[in-house]
Structure 1
Amino acid sequence: MKIKVGFGFDVHQLKENHPFIVGGVNLEHDRGAFGHSDADVLLHAICDALLGAANLRDIGYHFKNTDPQWKGISSLILLKESVRLVQEKGFEIGNIDAMLCIEAPKINPHIPTMQQNIAEAAGISVEDISIKATTNEQMGFIGREEGVVAYAVCLIQRS
């Protein structure tokens, strides 16, 4: 059995009076992530982990931020497409482990819904998705609530 591991990272600037979508959940906050798509930092990191594990380059290669077809698109669609590409290479997802680094708002109450959204988009069990969150202890651009960061790792295996 061939097993591969992928790592993903994403960062987005936070802007006032902008939607804040993380893990497919619209969070109530005075600032939101800014980007070409819906700027879902968590899903972008997961897409990069999956694509990287399958040696399919990165999210920017497949979903260019200069292409109007991706403008404002839900990152759940980008995740579904990334999973499709991984499956086309003969792999299935074993698990996903992700970490958000964000000062506010609190993420814990939203984790079950995020897991469900990711499970549905990726076609895997909620039990195979771990999401954690931490702050940056008020240091740096994260601590000043100027940006948000997500990291993800995944395991894929030949199906």
Structure 2
Amino acid sequence: MKVRRELLGEHPLFAQITAPSTDADAYLPIHPGALAFYNGTQQSFMDEYGNYIYLAPMVLGGIASFLAAAWKFLGIGQPEIREGPLDSLYALARRIRGVNTETELSSIEEEIDNILKAEGGDESAVDASTLNVVAHRLENLIHDRRAILATRAAVASVA
């Protein structure tokens, strides 16, 4: 339709070309795409799907955030918390205070040695000075407990 005016001088037959009737009750109905073109209401790809393109990632991101929060809240798939060497050593301090025999003290000393041996390979977990302080404290507790047990044994043998 735009080129018709330029070609009208060369070909007078083009003067008979006109835009089709856009009425709904026309003898020959016009195609809906051609109707949108002639009326100037034709939408581009972004006009038609732009809202979906912009809103879909926001909605999906919100859903993913909600699912991640629910996953974290429910604790699904979280690894078991491994007790560190300090926790094990502090638990031994409580056991030392309740020991009633020399053999139990010996087994606790072996456990301390095993914990310190296992921790020696993992340098990133706890620094050596902290482990040494805790081990020294436990050795003092064991020594004090042995003295208490020896005193009890002496009192029991006298009585």
TM-score, length-normalised on structure 2? Answer: 0.21
Between the two structures, name the one with larger relative contact order (CA 8 Å, sep ≥ 6). Answer: 1
Q: Considering only CA atoms, is the larger Rg found in Structure 1 or Structure 2? A: 2
- Higher-strand-fraction structure: 1
